[in-house]
Structure 1
Amino acid sequence: MRHPKTAHWRDSGRSPKLFFMDAYSAFPLLLFLLHIRLWTFALACCVCAFFVVLNRFGFTVPVFVRWLRAFIAGNQRYARLWITRKRT
């Protein structure tokens, strides 16, 4: 089975999008469509706005999660677990 000539592998690393929105925002929109309430609409709008802001700063969701984890961890990286280190 051959791949069609229109299948470009260079596009496989791009973040998924639904029209102009990030595809990760489809989950809150699906939640809103399944449970139509004012709070789910507000949640879906806030999540979509959050993804628009992330996209504006050039972040994708996995990159933002990695950045947030590194920001919370701080500058010091220990070679041993914090449980096994001797306290000074």
Structure 2
Amino acid sequence: MEEFDAIKGLINEGEIERAIQALDLFIEKNPSCDEAFYLRGNAYRKQGNWQMAINNYLSAIEINPQSPALQAKKMIIDILNFYNKDMYNQ
């Protein structure tokens, strides 16, 4: 989708806030588009906003259980579990 290509470009260029704003507008009009939630999750992940990333991935998975958000969510959970375990080893 052409609109998503532009948003992916914004994310890759580090224009995360602009990408999130564009996705907010898109999701408002298309609340059942799992790819939009997945992309917004990626944008939040790039910001380091783990909670918002997971929330968006969960929304994408709810719409489409086969969404790539499933793997992305698992990756974040693995990272957070690793960091939390690491804190106990200090």
> Is TM more than 0.5 here?
no
The structure with the greater share of residues assigned to strand is 1
Output the TM-score relative to the length of structure 2: 0.30
